[in-house]
Each structure stands twice: as C-alpha cells, then as structure tokens.
Chain A
Amino acid sequence: METKEITKDQIIDILRTVIDPEIGINIVDLGLVYDVSIKDQLIDITMTLTTPGCPMHGSITDWVRRIITMTIPDSTVNVNLVWEPKWTPDKMSNEAKQQLGM
C-alpha cells in the first residue's frame, strides 16, 4: 500500500496544537521548534524550551511525540531537545509577541 507523503508544513501545523499551558501560546509561535526533517516515515524534530530546568521539560517533548503519532500513526518521531542556540524572545512570531504585549 502506498502511504501519503508527509510534509514539513503538515508537521508544523500539528505542532501548532501543542500549547504551553502557562503562557497560552503554541510552541511553533513561541519559536521553540528549530527544525523539522522528514525521511520516509521518520520525523526528526529539533526543539528547545524557554529556559533549562523548566518544569515542562520532558512533558512538552512527550506531547509532541504523542500528538504526531496520533495524527500520523505510521510515523516514528524523534524529538531532540537542544539548548544551543539558546531560545531568545526574538524567535517568537509576531502574533506571539503581540499576545504577550511586546
């Protein structure tokens, strides 16, 4: 059976549903997602958090993995949490900046 090709935009749209419960903004607009690469059914996501030692550490990567595998059941998801480059506020989208009153 031929599987439908997964696109980067599709993954980004799925990631927009992962919302930081404290800030109320999704992780894509917060600028936490650094890279998405897709090779066949293997999806590699490189992302960060706003600060190391964040209590969300671990949970957000779990949610990312869960949400993608629920939407695309045949996929294998790999989440790399990185601290370099460091997250800075200018990585946020304009919508997110507006929402935070910047």
Chain B
Amino acid sequence: MNQPNSIASAYSPPFKIVAKYFIAAIVSFVIMSFILMINYNDINGHHFQPKILSITHIATLGFITMIIFGAMFQLVPVVLEVKLFSTILAEIQFWIYTIGVIGLVYKFWYFGSELSFTLPAILLNVAMFIFAFNIIASMIKVKNWNITGTFLAAAIFWLIVTAIAGILLAVNLDHPYIKINHLQYLKLHANVAFIGWVTMVIMGVSFKLIPMFTLSHGYDLTFAKWAFALINFGLFGINWIMHYADTGIYNLIFGITITIGLILYLIQIYIIFKKRVRRKFDIGLKFSAVSFSMLGLSTLLGFSFLFFEYENITNLTLVYGFMVIVAYISTLIVGQMYKIVPFLVWYHKYSSKVGIEKVPMLKDMFSEKLAELNLYLMCVGIIISVLSFLSEINLFLLIGFALLFISSVIFSFNMIKVFRS
C-alpha cells in the first residue's frame, strides 16, 4: 500500500504555535474592548493622548498584528506549499513581541513613568525582524509562486517600515531634541501600518480564502494587480514626500493613487463574490461583507481628508481610526476567525478520525446563534459609537462601547467552545 501523502500536515506548522498567537490576540481584543468601555469619557478630542494611544496599540499590536502573525504562520506554508523556516523562531518571537506590546501599552498609559519608550520599541522591532526573516526564509523555497505570496511579501516590507517609523517615534518621545516632525511621522507610521501592512495582508489572504469559502470560479485578477501596483506606488510616494519633498500636491497625487487602488480592490472582491457558487452567506462571510463595506466608507472618509480639514468636527480623526480599526479590520478578523479556528482545531483533532468515527462539521463547533448575536451587537455598537463621536454625546459612547465589549465576550466564548470541541 502507498504511504499516505500528507501534504497539508507536512507543510502546516505545529498547531500549538498558531493557537498561542490566536489566543493572545483574542485576549487582547477583550481587554481592549473592556478598557475602551470603562474609559469612554476620555475617548474624545485630539488623537494624540496617552490613553487613546495606549488603547490603539492594544488593538493594532495585541490584537490585529498578533492574529496576523498566527495566521501567516499557518497560511504561508499551506498556500505557498512550503515549510515554515523555523517554529523555534516563531516561539521566541512570540515572547519578545508579547513583552514588547505590554511594555509599550503600559508606557503609553502611564506616559510620565520611568520606563522608556525606546526599550519596548526595540523589543517590538526585534520581534518583527525575526518574523520577517522567518517568513522570507520560508518564501525563498517556494516553487509555485502565486498572487497571495506577492501581496504578503509586500506586506512584510511595509511591516518593517512601520516598525522603523515606530522606533523613531519612540526615540523621539524619549529624546525630543531629535526634532523630527512627530505628528507627520505618526501619520506615516499609521498609514503604512494600516494600508501597507494590515490591508496588504488582508488583500493577499482574501484572494485565497474568499474564493475558497464561497467556491468562486471563473474570474480574473486584473483589478487585484492594479490595486497592488497603485497602493504600493502611493505608499512609496508618501514615504518619499516625508523625507524629500513638500507635501501639498504630492500628498494629493499619492493619496488619490492609494484611494483608487483600494477601490479597485473592493471591485475585485465584488467580482469574486458575484462569481460565487455557494450562494448563502455563512457567518464568516456576513462579517466579511460588513468589513468590506466599512473599508469602502473608511476609504471615502480618508480620501475626503485630502480636500477638507473639518475644523468644526473635532472627533473626526477618532472616527476615522475607529472605522479602520474596529469597523473594517476587527469585523473581518472576527469573521475569518469563525472560519479559520474551527478548521484548524478540526484538522488537529478530527482529521485522523475521518472514516473511523463520526466527526463534526465545522459549523457545529461553535454556536451559530451566538455568532449571529456577535455580529449584530458589533454592528449596532459600531453605529452607535460613530454617531456619538460625531454628536459628542458621551453617554451614547458608553452604550456603543458596552455593546462592543459584550460582542467581544461572545466572540471569545465561541472561540473557547471551538478550542474545547
């Protein structure tokens, strides 16, 4: 008899390492929602405030980037058919990164404390460089390259740019005499993080996962290629003007380029959805549909910043950040977790039992009703929060954030159910 041809298990990294990143990310998500809720009174006005910066980094580093690390350790080997270069490095990275996140979040919150900004920033940079090395060393051995690989490679480049901009900002906070334009650098750091790193990952992974989940066939990826070219061109542009040119007209050109790129990406996603064979949207795809709509709205709002200053609406930058982090990115992550985590746990626990005993379907591994409630509360929470930011009625903000917190608890409860099934 032939030896089993276990390609997936040969390429997948140990479940333990991916699970560790996912669990840390889910814990961060609940902590972030809780802290947001109990500090609702402080979340207004200018975005450069200790508590807002602290919460933003729980979200971006503790939740979003943590989950992307875990997902990439799983997906890069499976999608590109190559083994992860080193699981030991992934393990070491986890601890350095986690200590770095806790340090930075603490320092932002207690802005005047003794701890330096530079120290946690160094830890985060070391962790991110280890990650970049680990993934690139894996990618070098890929035989069948595909579009997902191209997007992920670009994303890693922008992660490193984000990290370097981050450490410059940290050093500048410790030693203000360096005299970089802090708010300009902060803008670059945020743009590169959200568009270059997070969105580039989302784009690359979505071209693999969305057709897989929807059984979409017979579409071409022309819009995706143009989106890639325009967004990367625009990102190089905004880095260039930061250092070598005046903003003004260039800012407008590169801003428009990135906006068109993001719109082309959304058109590509629409085409993939349109060509789907699986007509009914399951919970993961419902979350994704909300997320892509929110990406559209956030893109338009971001685009409008190129032309209007909105001096009368003080909270608009906060609305923008909230839309990007919670409405667009977090809804997508939560939705994709409802697809990916059950699959990984199922694969880990039941794959070897197929044919020997009865195994569950993926959707039976969590409560679908609770997942629907999770989606509903998250959407209502987002709408109420945005309206209260705009109307500046803080009590509504408490209601919005409380709904988001409850939805994050429901999400983590469902994920615990998956891990235990």
Contact = CB atoms under 8 A, between A and B. Distances in A.
Interface of A: 17-19, 21-24, 50-59, 61-63, 65-67, 69-70, 76-79, 81, 87-89, 92, 100-102
A63 B347 contact: no
A77 B9 contact: no
Contacts of B218: 88
B211 interface: yes
B277 A102 contact: yes
B395 interface: no
B212 to A, nearest CB: 6
Q: Chain A at the B interface: mostly helix, strand, loop or mixed? A: loop
Contacts of B249: none
B141 interface: no
B359 A21 contact: yes
A39 B355 CA distance: 24
B383 interface: no
Given A23-B278, A89-B217, A101-B278, A53 B78 contact: yes
Nearest to B211: A51
A69 B355 CA distance: 10
Given A53-B79, A100-B280, A21 B355 contact: no
B41 interface: no
9 contacts: A19-B361, A21-B361, A24-B363, A58-B6, A58-B7, A59-B347, A100-B277, A100-B280, A102-B277
B361 A24 contact: yes
Given A55-B343, A89-B217, A101-B278, A22 B10 contact: no
Given A58-B7, A66-B355, A100-B277, A53 B80 contact: yes
Contacts of A79: 2, 5
B6 A55 contact: no
B208 to A, nearest CB: 7
Contacts of B6: 58-59, 62
A69 B3 CA distance: 12
Contact of A70 (B2, B350, B355, B361): B355
Question: Which 5 A-B residue pairs are closest in the complex by CB-CB distance?
Answer: A58-B7, A101-B279, A58-B8, A67-B355, A89-B277
B212 A59 contact: no
A100 B279 CA distance: 6
B346 interface: yes
B115 interface: no
B356 interface: yes
A101 to B, nearest CB: 3
Interface in B251-302: 277-280
B92 interface: no
A97 to B, nearest CB: 8
A18 B356 CA distance: 11
B112 interface: no
A67 B354 contact: yes
A48 to B, nearest CB: 12
Contacts of A101: 278-280
A78 B362 CA distance: 28
A19 to B, nearest CB: 8
Contacts of A70: 355-356
Nearest to A63: B354
Count chain B CB atoms within 10 A of each CB in A19, A22, A51, A69 and give the residue with the most: A22
A65 B4 CA distance: 8
Interface in B351-366: 351, 354-356, 359-363
Contacts of B7: 57-58
Contacts of B351: 59, 62-63
Contact of B9 (A24, A59, A89): A59
A100 B331 CA distance: 25
A76 B2 contact: yes
Given A24-B363, A59-B354, A63-B354, 7 more contacts: A17-B355, A21-B346, A21-B360, A22-B343, A52-B144, A58-B5, A63-B355
Contacts of A67: 354-355
Contact of A89 (B81, B215, B346): B215
A33 B156 CA distance: 38
B1 interface: yes
Contacts of A63: 351, 354-355
A23 B215 contact: yes
B213 interface: yes
B8 A55 contact: yes
